[in-house]
Amino acid sequence: MYSFKNDYSEGAHPRILQALIDSNLEQEDGYGEDRFSREAVELLKERIGRKDVDIHLLAGGTQTNLTAISAFLRPHEAAIAACSGHISTHETGAIEATGHKIIEVQVDNGKLTTANINAVLEAHTDEHMVKPKLVYISNSTEIGSIYTKQELEQLCDFCHENNLILFMDGARLGSALSSSENDLTLNDLASLVDAFYIGGTKNGALIGEALVICRDFLKEDFRFHMKQKGALLAKGRLLGIQFSELFRDNLFFDLALHANKMAMILRDELSKANIKFLTHSPSNQIFPILPNPIIRELQSNYSFHIWEKVDADHSAIRLVTSWATKEDQVLKFIEDLKGLI
């Protein structure tokens, strides 16, 4: 059974494991004050091209989302998100559990637009409703689409004009920025969004997300919020070592490029076999539409999510490739699928 279910089935890149072993018996301060975490923060600032951002290392995506969003919002304020957004669908109401409503919006291709956001603002007019304050987007999105620089510039301008916070979930940011269709850089993100995070968990790390806070008014007391939410890791070195290894050179992006390459092989070969897709996805997630009997046959040897029922006879499945996906397994999946067709 080979898994295309997610991009965190494997452990961590061997270089990271070796770095953890090599430093294992060194004594360091806790809670992110160790030399490895300080080094990781400086490496990230250099890569982003901004010394004035605050960077915090947290363990996982849900923890980062709930800690950041609850810290950024006052009690009566709400987040706007696509119905398919991760905080809307896959975080067990974590944001709402902090007391903040998520205003969900139906969108095309997983991406929020200024028109979507404006419709929410027009519908929330006074103190009898929650106040829309934070715009939550993901790059790449839950359905594998990515934001262009122009789209992000439009969102940035609209949010600033309307005094909204623009927050980007970057759990799969490596894949998005390594996509052949991407025209954004880390420096662009630091200029266009108020806060974002760089996902390590889904790109070669054991655990870890690097939250980048770009706007000064969001920075105050953030470590207090981390501690209160259980996000201030005593052995913070575990996160620092991993991000130091990922960003010491180009390892982070090399791993994302591999994941995208494996997805591209799947996408191209399935297209040649006249298989249609639920959505256009230039990242490491693809959503082919297959007859239900073929899906059941494939499940004998492969693990993946059945994403959505398309009609009575067909469903879209989600195939996710990772930094460690083996090309021979990708080719075998293609061969097996073509055999069934």
Check residue 77 and give its pLDDT: 98
**Which string of DSSP letters, residue by residue, matches 83-112?**
TTSHHHHSSTTHHHHTT--EEEE--BTTB-
Check residue 49 and give its pLDDT: 97
- Collapsing DSSP to helix, strand or coil, 7 comes out as coil
Calpha distance 258→250 (Å, rounded): 12
Check residue 67 and give its pLDDT: 98
Check residue 318 and give its pLDDT: 98
Calpha distance 268→247 (Å, rounded): 30
Check residue 74 and give its pLDDT: 98
Nearest to 141 by CA among 281, 324, 260: 281
Check residue 276 and give its pLDDT: 97
Read off the pLDDT of residues 76-97 as tens digits, 9 standing for 90 and up: 999 999 999 999 999 999 999 9
Check residue 150 and give its pLDDT: 98
Amino acid at 176: A
Q: Let me know: does 144 contact 279? Beta carbons within 8 Å.
A: yes
Read off the pLDDT of residues 198-236 as tens digits, 9 standing for 90 and up: 999 999 999 999 999 999 999 999 999 999 999 999 999
Amino acid at 77: E
Mean per-residue pLDDT for 61-66? 97
Q: What is the mean pLDDT of the chain?
A: 97
Read off the pLDDT of residues 261-291 as tens digits, 9 standing for 90 and up: 999 999 999 999 999 999 999 999 999 999 9
**Which string of DSSP letters, residue by residue, matches 100-162?**
--EEEE--BTTB--HHHHHHHHHH--STTSPEEEEEEEESS-TTS----HHHHHHHHHHHHHT
Read off the pLDDT of residues 150-163 as tens digits, 9 standing for 90 and up: 999 999 999 999 99
Confidence at 18, pLDDT banded by 50, 70, 90: very high
**Which string of DSSP letters, residue by residue, matches 26-64?**
----STT-SHHHHHHHHHHHHHHT-SS-EEEEES-HHHH
Mean per-residue pLDDT for 51-66? 98
Check residue 115 and give its pLDDT: 98
Calpha distance 239→253 (Å, rounded): 18
What length is written for the chain?
A: 341
Check residue 63 and give its pLDDT: 97
Domains, in order of start, for the chain:
2-6+254-340 (3.90.1150.10), 14-251 (3.40.640.10)
Check residue 211 and give its pLDDT: 98
Q: Let me know: does 171 contact 68? Beta carbons within 8 Å.
A: no
Read off the pLDDT of residues 173-194 as tens digits, 9 standing for 90 and up: 999 999 999 999 999 999 999 9
Check residue 146 and give its pLDDT: 98
Check residue 288 and give its pLDDT: 98
Mean per-residue pLDDT for 14-37? 97
What's this model's pTM, rounded to 2 decimal places? 0.97
Check residue 73 and give its pLDDT: 98
Check residue 85 and give its pLDDT: 94
Q: Let me know: does 304 contact 4? Beta carbons within 8 Å.
A: yes
Percent of the chain with pLDDT over 70: 100
- Collapsing DSSP to helix, strand or coil, 273 comes out as coil
Mean per-residue pLDDT for 36-60? 98
Nearest to 203 by CA among 158, 162, 247: 247
Q: Bin 240: left if φ > 0, else alpha if -120 < ψ < 50, else beta.
A: alpha
